[in-house]
Amino acid sequence: MSKPVSALMGAAYDGIVRVEECGLQGMITLRGDLASKPVIAAATGATGQEMPGQRRANVAGESGLCWMSPDELLVLVPHAEVSAKLAAMTTALGDAHSLAVNVSDARAMFRVSGEHAREVMAKLAPVDFAPGAFGPGDFRRSRLAQVAGAFWMEEDGSFRIICFRSVADYVFKLLKVAAQPGSAVGVF
């Protein structure tokens, strides 16, 4: 059995923020009626987190639920547990009209932390990152320069970012450029 590795093997960069690839993260796409009991049971049962509201993320460590659209959640679980969690979710979903699929290996995850984290994000996504407009637990699907990306803010003010694995190197380079020493704008 080959050993799974993340897209950038945990690469990191220190500039006006710290940028690090988070390593392996289990991710399950769950689609269905987010108000239906089987979907709620599958999502909350897999993560121990409550259902997130619109554009919110309830995440603790490697487990959590992210609101992707009115009929889609991203379910975060430890990478080693994906298969078991997915099987339990499929059982919980039963014959409810829904879909749950393991997308872990199609994705990469980054963390951006430090005093200027909002600024670095604001350079790359067309999103209002002002403190009153985007805070801890807020989640957004958007773009990072030219590619799709999703991100949320954690309690400590850092961001976690998800992108497709195929563009992980591009996103890491974007973040590095946006975090170059001396590039702080001081807008927030």
Partner 1 sequence: MLILHCPYCGVDADETELAAGGEAHLKRFGPGSSDDELHGYLFARENPKGVHLERWRHASGCGKWFHAARCTATLEVFGTYKAQVSGPPQEIRDAISARRPGWSWREFS
Q: Which residues contact 183 (CB under 8 A, 6 or more apart)?
A: 15, 16
Report the distance separating Cα 82 and Cα 104, nearest Å: 8
Residue 141 as a binder of partner 1 (CB under 8 A): the answer is: yes
CB of 67 to partner 1, least distance (A): 8
Report the distance separating Cα 89 and Cα 167, nearest Å: 29
Residue 99 as a binder of partner 1 (CB under 8 A): the answer is: no
Residue 142 as a binder of partner 1 (CB under 8 A): the answer is: yes
Task: Phi first, then psi: give them for residue 79, nearest 5 degrees.
Answer: -55, -40
Residues making up the chain, counted from first to last: 188
Choose, by CB under 8 A, the member of 143, 165, 173, 176 that binds partner 1: 143
Nearer of residues 142 and 166 to partner 1, judged by Cβ: 142
Tokens for 139? Answer: 């989640």
Segment 30 to 89, residues that bind partner 1, using CB under 8 A: 54-55, 68-70, 72
Choose, by CB under 8 A, the member of 1, 3, 95, 126 that binds partner 1: 126
CB of 77 to partner 1, least distance (A): 22
